[in-house]
Structure 1
Amino acid sequence: MKKITLFNLCIFLMALFALSTLQAQNHARTIDQYLTKANQEGFSGVALVAHKGKIIFSQGYGFANREKRLAFDPNSVFDIGSITKQFTGAAIMKLEMEGKLKTSDVLTKYLPNLPAHMHKITLHHLLTHSAGLPGGIGPDEEVLGKEAYLKRLFTKKLSDSFGSFAYSNVGYSLLAMVIEQASGMEYEQFLHKKIFAPAGMTQTGYRLPTWSTKNIVVGYRNGNRWGSTHLKSHYNQGVTYHLKGNGGIMSTVLDLHKWYKAIKNNTVLSKEATQKYIAKHIKDGGGHYGYGWGTEPKPGREIVWHNGGNGFFNAFMGYYLAKDLVIIVATNYGKSADPYAHPIDRIMHGEFKTMNEKLAKRYQGAYRLPSGEKFKVRFNANSQLEVPIHQAALYQLFSGSIADKASVAATYNQKISVLGNTLLKHNYAQYAKIEHQYMLEGSEAAIASQIKRSLERREKRLGKIKAVEVLGSVARQKGKYYLSAARFAFAKGNNYVFYTWKGNRLIGVRVLNEAGMTKKFDYQGKHAFFAESNQLKIQLTTQQGKPAIRVGDKVLVKE
């Protein structure tokens, strides 16, 4: 009887293993189909998914270097952006484990010459972006040493956000200085010895790894080559404090997977330190922030994640420790990696839907807004509904959210209008004066020089600037942020500038060309589409027998 029971148990375990293997293969096949179609729509990058201790998917798409036609693969070395912050957070936790510091320590213990208004800042404040510091104080390409960085920072006042979440690269640069002071080692040397080497990561760092030239990824935006971070930011001259500790580390999806395993297996940090590392320390929009990681609720689960980018490279890393599932995606063409990571997440949870082709053909085509603007709806290869947002009415409808407030939007629209009009007059000094009061980063002279170079490059390519039109300002994260957009019309084409606001603070600016002015909605099944960024739903419906789409309280009929 005992032998039969053991035999049956073995058969059951073998069947369970076979089922698990088959499920992993199906997931990998679906992810490949999804990213292959995404590549047809312009995606260029690499992705890795590991589940239950095994890498089930690891593949590149498109070119890591277009000029040399070098394809992306799992060994491609890319800029991970602000994912760098998780290593700074881990380094602080490692030093706390070694008794060399405490997260409750005041910053003056390690940087004693801080101005009086910064004496209340603790390491916890820096780790949780709650120190009231500016987002940054200069461009990534500017090589700036410790003393020059601090001298510039000391002229800045703390914002009224002290004690609450306000994302700051500066805070993590200061943490890099703390790590150097407490450990007696240079920041990257400490990471290499205490973090990367124990985790088996040989392809991660700023300057220390020996990378093969053919593996280093080149960044692009709007079809234009930018280059590689280690060259553009002059790492051969030393890592600038505009990046050290907060961004600019280069890595591969394979190395980042090794880091995930080190977190899960407590290879670098103890179990207690790891719990503190990824804990929900501070509220951030709909989620929380820990020490270099965010935590975000999803239906029936909760993901620990972080992303990063510099406008050319973008990366996403997220995981579920209890499920032993990690998702890593990187891109090199100026587009966020997040919209590709989220569908992969849905694939792994059985939530990914594909649209019937006959249904797509019926609903794609021309529609008209009540205000008269015509636009086209199309469905791409990944069953996403796409609409243009290059006109004010279209931008406000499809990029807007239920959190939009007309009075708040009007205030931001006025600010953008004033900034735009100064550029029309090529008044760079006035532009810098206005932008500086919102950004609090860099000097007015530096801003004027930067915007002058930027506009001159565009006028050389597109002809003289002719007009500026504000498209509108829409809420993000339930009104915590606002995203303003404006069309800059040149003689030979348009550029679109997006401004991200938090209160009276301008925390980000990015530029897109005409091709980038498309809003995508993911298919949810049952004729419904959803955009996560603004929490907006589009429902396919009919009106008097004609195909129509419902957007909020508006029903738009196909012409």
Structure 2
Amino acid sequence: MGDAEWSGDGGLLGAAERAFRPAASATAIAVVTPYEERTALRGSDDRSAFEIGSISKGLTGMLYRHAVERGLVSPTTTLGDLLPLEGYGDVGAVTLGSLAIHRSGLPGLPPGMHPLRRSLGFWIHGQNPYGDSLAALLDQVRTVHVGAPRPRYSNLGFQLLGHAVAKAAGSSYPQLLQDDLGPGFSTPARVEDLGPADLTGCDRFGRPMQPWVGEAIAPAGGIRATIGTMRGFLRSVLDGAPPGMSALDPVTEFAPRVGIGAGWITLEHHGRRITWHNGSTGGFNSWIGLDRDAGTGAVVLSAVHRSVDRQGFRILEEFTAPLAAPSSVVDDEPTR
């Protein structure tokens, strides 16, 4: 795949080639505007499934907000109301609302999972540092200390949020995800669950990395999707169609001049208000962003562990130029 050429739709090919210099392997890009949808592919096709990493948190935020809208939970519902956490100290008192905005006081990872040992296995051997069952995750949080409710990005928080919301819905996380947001998203719990369309990611040096699969990690970073699924998701969000859309609306400040809704981040980029999230796993990176005022969105999926944030913001900006007729998006370099 390293020598593959870009294929796809018109002007997006030029944008992809400009954004990815040197060329990237196993990459898929989609852009959705008020007038059209475009896709560009390199080393992959419409059936290729990528790990989307922490974009999973944005989807989990939407599941949470939909559960609130249905009256299944409220922002003050606690983890202990939904998960078997009796005798787990303060963890059971953590609210779903605080988890959704990364302000729960939970650490990024539970000490009980021995993150240092797992990190060494990841960096040295490319091993999956996740892979736990939900039961194992709950056992790992038994000794977790809940700190001050300040902004702190937490994989653990979103793992617990997703599984708690699923419990409230009388479902499993994978089933709730498909019921609410569509069957195109997959959450493999084991390597054996992967199929021929699931890509193998690599690190920045080209070394194949183990897939990040596992029941526990799904709500925070274990979802896979094709570019077609992500393009359809973009279109539905821009149209305001999926349940839990309020997850995209910022409700508090996560950092200076950075707002957060339920998982989704909002900031100003070159004078435009962008709602976005990125993702990174052992062998994949991803980015999704929306200019909701312009009705434009972009997604980038890559099967290599190298940030695609810069490329995502650039591509979104190229196709968000002043709202005009579709002919304003052509193969030429836009005027800046």
Normalising by structure 2, report the TM-score: 0.79
The answer on whether the counterparts of 1:104 and 1:123 sit within 8 Å (CA) in structure 2 is yes
Cα distance, 1:216 vs structure 2: 2.3
In 2, the alpha carbon distance for the partners of 1:342 and 1:110 equals: 38
Pair 1:154-2:129 in alignment? no
Kindly indicate whether residue 132 of structure 2 is the aligned counterpart of residue 144 of structure 1: yes
Q: Which residue matches 1:165?
A: 151
2:221 to 220, 229, 247: 247
The 3-state SS of whatever aligns with 1:174 is: helix
What is the match of residue 251 of structure 2?
A: 281
Deviation for aligned residue 1:339: 1.7
Q: Deviations over 1:479-522 (max 9, x none)?
A: xxxxxxxxxxxxxxxxxxxxxxxxxxxxxxxxxxxxxxxxxxxx
Contact 2:16 2:315 in 1 (8 A): no
- 1:190-201 aligned at under 5 Å gives the runs 190-196=176-182
Distance 1:349 1:97, change over 3 A: closer
Greater RCO, 1 or 2 (C-alpha within 8 Å, sep 6+): 2
**Hey, what does 1:222 align to over in structure 2?**
204
Instruction: Look up the match of 1:115.
Output: 88
The reply on whether 1:132 has 2:105 as its aligned counterpart is yes
* Aligned amino acid, residue 49 of structure 1: V
CA distance in 2, matches of 1:38, 1:280: 29
CA distance in 2 between counterparts of 1:194 and 1:117 reads 31
Indicate if the aligned counterparts of 2:101 and 2:260 stay in contact, CA closer than 8 A.
yes
2:292 pairs with one of 309, 321, 324: 321
Do residues 46 (structure 1) and 11 (structure 2) align?
Answer: no
> Measured at CA, do residues 53 and 190 of structure 1 come closer, stay the same or move farther in structure 2, by a change above 3 Å?
farther
Secondary structure, counterpart of 1:346 in structure 2: helix
Residues matched between the structures, number: 296
- Is residue 301 from structure 1 mapped to residue 272 from structure 2 by the alignment? yes
Report the secondary structure of 2:160's partner residue.
helix
| Contact 1:59–1:73 (8 Å) recurs in 2 | no
Distance in 1 of aligned mates of 2:33 and 2:100? 29
**Structure 2 residue 237 is the aligned partner of structure 1 residue 263:** yes
SS of corresponding position for 1:203: coil
Aligned AA (2:215): T
The residue number in structure 1 matching 2:316 is 345
Q: CA deviation at 1:211?
A: 7.8
Could you tell me the percent identity over the aligned residues? 21
Q: Separation in 2 of the partners of 1:279 and 1:143?
A: 32
Distance 2:139 2:29 in 1: 41
Distance 1:247-1:114 versus aligned 2 partners, 3 A rule: farther
By how many angstroms is 1:187 displaced?
Answer: 0.9
Which amino acid letter does the alignment assign opposite residue 251 of structure 2? H
- Give the Å deviation of 1:91: 1.3
The 3 A distance-change label for structure 1 pair 114 and 280 is farther
- Give the conservation status (yes or no) of the 8 Å contact 2:17–2:23: no
Question: Aligned partners of 2:250, 2:269: CA distance in 1, in Å?
Answer: 15
CA RMSD of aligned residues (A): 2.6
Q: Distance in 2 between matches of 1:251 and 1:219?
A: 14
Deviation string 1:439-479 (CA, Å, 9 cap, x unpaired) is: xxxxxxxxxxxxxxxxxxxxxxxxxxxxxxxxxxxxxxxxx
Contact 1:203 1:255 in 2 (8 A): yes
Structure with the bigger percentage of strand: 1
Distance in 2 between the 1:228 and 1:324 partners? 37
Asked if the contact 2:78/2:92 (under 8 Å) is kept, the reply is yes
| Deviations, residues 115-147 of structure 1 (Å, cap 9, x unaligned) | 332354210111011011111234544432233
Q: State the 1:347 CA deviation.
A: 1.6
TM-aligned CA deviation for residue 93 of structure 1 = 1.8
Gaps of 5+ in 2: 1-8, 119-127, 323-332
Supply the distance in 1 between the matched residues of 2:91 and 2:251 (Cα, whole angstroms): 21
Alignment match, 1:513: none
SS at match of 2:54: helix
Match of 2:53 in 1: 81
How far the C-alpha of 1:338 sits from its partner, in A, is 0.7
Match of 1:178 in 2: 164
Q: Deviations over 1:366-390 (max 9, x none)?
A: xxxxxxxxxxxxxxxxx9xxxxxxx
Partner secondary structure for residue 173 of structure 1: helix
- Alpha-carbon contact 1:311-1:335 (below 8 Å) kept: no
SS of alignment partner, residue 59 of structure 1: strand
Q: Give the AA of the match of 1:76.
A: S
- Cα distance in structure 2, aligned partners of 1:265 and 1:329: 20
For residues 54-65 of structure 1, what are the structure 2 equivalents within 5 Å? Answer: 54-55=36-37, 57-61=38-42
Alpha carbons 2:32, 2:234 under 8 Å: kept: no
Is structure 2 residue 189 aligned with structure 1 residue 189? no
Mapped to 1, the partners of 2:320 and 2:291 lie a distance apart of: 12
- What is the CA distance between 1:177 and its match in structure 2? 2.3
Q: Structure 1 CA distance, aligned partners of 2:242 and 2:22?
A: 40
Q: Which has the larger radius of gyration?
A: 1
The DSSP-based 3-state class of the residue aligned with 2:218 is: coil
